[in-house]
Chains A and B, each alone.
Chain A
Amino acid sequence: MTVYLRPALWLLPLSFLGVFYFYPLGAVLTYSLADVERTVSALEYLRDSYIFRTLTFTIWQACLSTILTLLVGLPGAYLIGTYRFRGKALLRTLTAIPFMMPTVVVASGFNALLGARGWINLGLMRALHLETPPLIVVNTLYAILLAHVFYNTTIVMRLVGDFWARLDPHLTQAARTLGATPWSTFTRITAPILGPAVLTAAILVFIFNFTSFGVILILGGPRFATLEVAIYRQTLNFFNMPLAALLCLIQLLCTLGLTFAYTRMAARISRPLRTQTAQTTQRKLRKWRTRLAAWVIIIGLLALLVAPLGALVVRSTFKLEADRAERGVLTTGFTLNYYRELFINRQQALFFITPIETIGISLKNALLTIVLSLGLGIPTAGMLARKTRLARWLDPIIMLPLGTSAVTLGFGFIIAFSRPPLNLRASPLLLPLAHTLVAFPFVIRSLLPAWQSIRPQLRHAAAVLGSSPARVWREIDLPLVGRAAIVAAAFAFTISLGEFGATALLSRPEFPTVPVAIYRYLSQPGALNYGQALALSTILMIFCGSGMLAIESLRFGHTGEI
């Protein structure tokens, strides 16, 4: 390719985003604003209306969740930011697992732990001889808050913890020699310097809570609706497309504003403070008091972050209640029955296929997503890495899908692609395309550092030695980007497998993905349905867990960015 052709390469990502991002969003926009009169009356109706209540609940739960996440995450950030101890890498990895877990898996996990059929309730019922579950958490605000804390604690721990770890210890030492007590050193030096990092983490957590969908839908139950859930219900349950479009518009404005705030803050904390490598800044746990505190923090984190997933796995292989057929005689214990049932299609009305086939459908989607997102992502990241003026301009545009909620994207797809000129309703590519959009920012962000690490001298050296530009690309760029490409593929794979927001709106009844199947099982009564939901969740968790481990072990330069 020649120099003149290079800008033409931009056409690839730009046309993709143009057709599959801007066109659907434009369709939402025109749809919601098409009938101005109706929109105005809707806006007048806004106060104490459905929209207003939904918006205030969305903000309210996001605020609460963010505050709770900070309360749980900051001690963890302190621990990994200032101390060196055995098992720290393991703790980092373990606490990162929830972040990449699909919402349906997390919902199943909390259900298996705290739900009416969960470990704690069934245990209490048996121990205290109760007729009904004593602990009502699922379908209350508490379940939503717990799941949000579960999800986002790792963001606080990593963003703040890594920033803390790179803080020059000389700053606090200087304060101490200048007469500051340990407390005033913390309040006047450490806290103000950490402030922007905490705020950045808080905004990011708030964005995730604000756009929370699966957690609210499954764990919150019918009484709660965030903007996301409202869009979903208005579209699929009430077919009120104009209202859904208006909700999308509000959601879009909010998330774009929040994303803008986040990127501004994130740029501020990446300002080159004089930072140190973590090696020099971290102390050992010496005093018994710090040891005790560390143990409390670690056990607390593991209890919160690992317990629901552990409960899920174990519960999926344990029979704890009577089946409908065996009233009275209750045999409990280890069983693989829930997994066996996945191969049988008992309820023709619920599915057209056996549950295990949903895994095939999900894997096919995931593979297509990998192909699409790497095919687009590798050249796009390569262009971005060159840091031309054009690249600096286009970078935020390419990251825009990050600031758009999955449900909004799904709704945009419904509006835009179920009519000519581009009718994709029946296309097997519809879901992979939506997943590619969701995964695209992550794919780009994992490829970019690798591209940027290739020094131009390497390319020049190869060129001087007689390689054609295409050959330079093949011999220098591709091998060096290879590892990052695996990480990017793992992101695409994990995101596609677990994606629920857009999928819930777009998946066709005859081709349900795994998350959709889990959601349907969870909303059906009966111990067998419950067990199958948990078994499918466990399988999904194993797939996503492997993807995440691949990301954790292969990514490079992973300080600061999530």
Chain B
Amino acid sequence: MNAALAQSATRAAALVVEGIGKSFPAGKGGAKGALRRVLEEIGLEVAPGEILALTGPSGAGKTTLCRILAGLERPDEGAVRLGGRDLAGVPAGRRAVAFLFESYALYPHLTVRQNALSPLQAPNAVGAGAGRLDPAAAERRVDEVLELLEIRHLDARLPGALSGGQKQRVALARTLVQDPALFLLDEPISHLDAKLRHKLRGEIRRRLSAQPAPAIWSTPDGMEALSVGDRVAVIADGRIEQVGTPEQIWLSPVSTRVAKLLGDPPMNLVPGTLAQEGGGLSFTRRELRLALPPALAAAARRAKSAEVVLGVRPDALTLVPPDAAGAARAEIYSNEPFGKHAIVTLDLGALLVKAKTTMSLASGLGDLAGAGTGEGIGAPVGLELPAEGLVLFDGPTGRALPAA
């Protein structure tokens, strides 16, 4: 390992990605020589010690971006800089990157322990930042990480004898033992069971935050991204849609695409029209009608089209009796009781809307919907929109209003 990178591994350095673009051959079905654009003008900055969560639907280009950052793929254009140094000519093995592969990429002929130990014994070992860890220290570190990931008892097994979740934890161990210049975690906990996922999410975040290296954590799960990232980058169709803190992403998604990706269940998107009403603006969709609060109305005045989409989080919706004043009439389409809260899907006339409510059939919802209707399916209820926590999107483009 050369001296410059050895230093950069210890002296924390920011990752800067500028204008990365990448195309692949279109493959089957496409014309010969045709290209498929997978990444377009990707620009990101990750500060030392910062975790950037990269989220987007599968096929959005997350893995390709990680592989370009690691040096396994060459970008068609754009630059990757680590601590001000352009990595264009630097091969993967000299970038001091700890890469967790979505497909695990374990060495099949090595045991769990040997796999976890492998990066510390590698030619360009970045174990101790400035050089190689001595064997005893490396073993201790591996022990500690295997313990953390609850796979120490498996340490003599070969990967072939492990389940998917166990393999993923070995891949995690192999990544976490390192002190690299950059962490790249491609869907690191997607194959773990829910309980372990919750435990490890926090543990891994804690470990990464303690490291001086910038980290990129890719995941198709928007909620996971919001929970692990210091900042979150949303990527769709090879473009960065939005970069921001979890609060920014959650409260003001810049497009319907971002809105659809985040939340459990995700934000309801209700298409409708803007109408002049008295002194202000109102949003209408059939009998659903909402006088826009001043802030939103100001934004709505800048809309180019009267066609807009109103975004409203499921937990902001209130269920009221069907005949309540100002409420839109809806029918209960389905009801998922979670115990603590229920997710009720409502048929709003050719549009399904999900509401997250603390009411259950036993308390409140049953009275609303009228007794004796079984699950309450088909029963009429009223739906009230809140005055806050709403987001307006331009109908034709799907961009948030104001487009600031």
Q: Do A and B come from one complex?
A: no
